Structure 1
């Protein structure tokens, strides 16, 4: 799941939410290299515990969500939130999708409390992770309902995929398997719709 994060500047006001990621990073990936440590990367999941993770009620996540070195937020609609808050960052993660997977990583999400009739996910932007082969507004790499990816760079179902999400001020970019598929400047979004 979330392997590591690099804060581009001092942490401020961003929280990461994960909605039903279908599978997570392999245990061998749950450590930082000396070069990554020197570059300022922070490990968010150690492959063994749920330390640092909360559910959408801000309660500690049960250890049952750790399976074979992966962080798996099943059941459906279960959100995992990392307790640290980041303003500008690079997030690196590995994932697999299962049949009919509908998942994602929430960024720029605040407040972390549900609103009446809406869960926490409606307070931010979702980077989609789905079991699809198209490149639409709800497919892997999309900023859900906002920006569709330039292509679907997913590997076949059941294979590991790599995603890197970069948030630097108003700029958001998404790479899937080392291919940039989405890039947008939130300052260009001047109307609500």
Structure 2
């Protein structure tokens, strides 16, 4: 290969590698003027863990979580789940995430610290192809499911290692799960249909499960690598 040809190939490879990296700096962990006007607030600024703490504690975990390259990274090293300082009633919560191959995690909402543990409604995040848990319960444990209770419909998950975008909408007792721009699940808290689904789930003996309450948002430490960014929330009327 001539020197000129080598340089041409090198430049082409460099250009390809640059375009393959997500443009984190411009948009991630920032709000546009329109988003601010619509009432959105950041829950993670890409630099600190302000606004988050351990479940039933006042401090952030001393291990197992770290901020790196604009991501909030759970290392899966028993750091524990983390929750928002604030509680939310009717709200919309949106985030971007990446998960290690074979991984399993989730975002819980309507979380109350009056329970002994962080049992709550969970938006499942899992490697649908490689994690055996996703193959259980007839779709009620795949990504974007209401974990172990309701399955999503039409969910299109990006491959592990790539960025997925998720959203939870709680308006009164009505709840929606979104994945990569599409609504894939909705239900009504306290409805007969939800009660029946819960009665057929692992949460059938959990008092008050499925009722609409004001609560925290929780990021789960499920003993695997998972990355979160662009965590934002807005309260709804």
TM-score bracket relative to the smaller structure: 0.7 to 0.9
Task: Tell me the matched-pair count.
Answer: 162
Cα offsets for 1:13-66 (capped at 9, x unmatched): xxxxxxxxxxxxx55410111111111001100000001110124232258521
The one of the two structures with greater contact order (alpha-carbon pairs below 8 A, sep at least 6) is 2
Which of 152, 157, 171 aligns to 1:154? It is 157
Residue aligning to 2:14? none
Taking the TM superposition and a 5 Å limit, the aligned residue runs for 1:55-134 are 55-62=54-61, 65-75=66-76, 78-110=80-112, 112=113, 115=116, 119-120=117-118, 122=119, 124-133=120-129
TM-score scaled by structure 2? 0.63
User: Max radius of gyration: which structure?
Assistant: 2
Report the Cα offset of residue 157 of structure 1.
Answer: 1.2
The SS at the match of 2:94 is: strand
Residue aligning to 2:49? 50
Which of 170, 175, 193 aligns to 1:172? It is 175
| Counterpart-to-counterpart distance in 2, 1:81 and 1:73 | 13
Report the Cα offset of residue 104 of structure 1.
Answer: 0.5
| Counterpart-to-counterpart distance in 2, 1:137 and 1:62 | 30
Residue aligning to 1:183? 186
Residue aligning to 1:13? none
Residue aligning to 2:20? none
| Counterpart-to-counterpart distance in 1, 2:31 and 2:145 | 28
TM-score scaled by structure 1? 0.76
| Counterpart-to-counterpart distance in 1, 2:152 and 2:144 | 6
The SS at the match of 2:124 is: strand
Unaligned runs of 5+ in 1: 1-25
Instruction: Verify the 8 A CA contact 1:73 1:80 in the aligned structure 2.
Output: no
Residue aligning to 1:34? 33
